[in-house]
Amino acid sequence: MTLSSREVRDLLSEHGLTPSRALGQNFVADPNTVRKIARLAHIVPGDRVVEIGPGLGSLTLALVEAGAEVTAIELDRHVLPVLRSVVEPHGVRVIHGDALFLDWDEVLGEGPWSLVANLPYNVATGLVLDLLATVPAIERMLVMVQREVGERLAARVGDKAYGIPSVKVAYWAQAEVVARVPATVFIPAPRVESVLVRITRRPRPAVDADPDKLFALVAKAFGQRRKMLRRSLAGIVDAETFARAGVRPEARAEEVSLEGWAQLVNADVER
């Protein structure tokens, strides 16, 4: 019930559409890939799924095929009429809007929801982090993103890709890269590798620490990641606080786990 590569090309040609580079549009045009995405998202009949950037609806149809009730958020007003013609006959709710500025409470109401999406690469990290922080109704995500972005979202302390996004995701959720996606399944083919990242929201944050203080400290340290913490956090964390937290002042940001950051925040509060 999904779209083949030929059908995607025909729809683009018939309606005089060209994928927008500014919007990061690379349409998935392979039935096996979109069905794999639905399968890896663990979609079962009756699941409520929100899809961001559905494009022409190839993945949308695969989600419907798996039994999901789908709400699709599309920004591109040129693509919108074609998308509606493809997916609305199958019961999909289509909303014209920018996912970065939606009133998600109004769109989704109460949970649980799953997010399944081929996200535009230029907004993927910020969007995922914002949804984790502010939209608890979304309990699960399966997102397709640029490989480097996916690795940062799922990285753990000690991994080369470990950084600010890794810490923020780990605070709210568990994340893992579950598959790679070849460029050949897209129209047009991107110049980067893509991966699928599965993100599962925790029932409660992984550590007991104020997120604003924790993320501010992490941002400060990773802003000078080559420096030892005693230098990058000079004037913010003193020797006594390092000692109380059990974190080495000689360590660098990429060597500190989420638990270590929380200990630094809480040790400073206890001072």
CATH architecture of 5-201: 3-Layer(aba) Sandwich (3.40)
Give 24-43 pLDDT, tens digit per residue: 788 999 999 999 999 999 99
How high does pLDDT run on average in the chain?
Answer: 94
Give 121-144 pLDDT, tens digit per residue: 889 999 999 999 999 999 999 999
Give 176-210 pLDDT, tens digit per residue: 999 999 999 999 888 889 999 999 999 999 999 99
User: 211-270 adopts what CATH topology?
Assistant: Helicase, Ruva Protein; domain 3 (1.10.8)
- Long-range contacts, stretch 228-234, CB < 8 angstroms, 24+ apart: 228/252, 229/253, 229/256
pTM of the model: 0.93
Angle, vertex CA 23, rays to CA 19 and CA 27, nearest 5 = 40
How does residue 270 score in pLDDT terms, banded at 50, 70 and 90? low
The CATH 3.40.50.150 domain(s) of the chain lie at 5-201
The CATH 1.10.8.100 domain(s) of the chain lie at 211-270
How does residue 12 score in pLDDT terms, banded at 50, 70 and 90? confident
> What's the Cα-to-Cα distance from 14 to each of 10, 17, 21, 25, 88, rounded to whole Å?
6, 8, 20, 18, 19
Give 138-185 pLDDT, tens digit per residue: 999 999 999 999 999 999 999 999 999 999 999 999 999 999 999 999
Select from 247, 253, 250, 264 the least CA-distant residue to 226: 253
What pLDDT is recorded for position 269?
A: 60
